[in-house]
Amino acid sequence: MQFCKRLLGVKKCTQKDFVYGELGRCQLRNYRMYNIVKYWTKILLCDNKRYLKIVYYMLCEDILDRPTCKNWCSLLRDMLFTLGFADVWYS
């Protein structure tokens, strides 16, 4: 980040989002979230008899049975809720 700010010639207190936007870059967290959602859609579109989809349904059932359970599906659901896409999870 320090290199990017020096490259642009801005102050050290300049917000990171502005620096990333000016350089046309994105935070790694955004790429990670994108890949998670992309993988989730791949799971949803695959055949119901594949092990991947069966395990996904098992993880979803765990969330319903034990609301405090932490697994991949619960973390995905929480991420979608914080981003404002709760309706996508329910649909």
Structure confidence by residue, pLDDT tens digits, 34-55:
999 999 999 999 999 999 999 9
Q: State the Cα–Cα distance between residues 9 and 18, nearest whole angstrom.
A: 13
Q: So what's the pLDDT on residue 29?
A: 86
pLDDT for the residue numbered 85: 92
| Rounded-to-integer distance, Cα 58 and Cα 39, Å | 17
Question: Per the structure, how many domains does the chain have?
Answer: 2
pTM of structure? 0.72
Same domain, 19 and 57: no
In a shared domain, residues 3 and 32: yes
Do 56 and 32 fall within a single domain? Answer: no
- pLDDT of 68-86, one tens digit each? 889 999 999 999 999 999 9
Instruction: Identify whether residues 32 and 54 lie together within a single domain.
Output: no
Q: Report the pLDDT value the prediction gives residue 39, as an integer from 0 to 100.
A: 95
Residues 60 and 26 occupy one common structural domain: no
Q: What is the pLDDT of residue 79?
A: 94
One domain for residues 30 and 68? no
By residue count, the chain amounts to 91
* Domain span including residue 21: 1-39
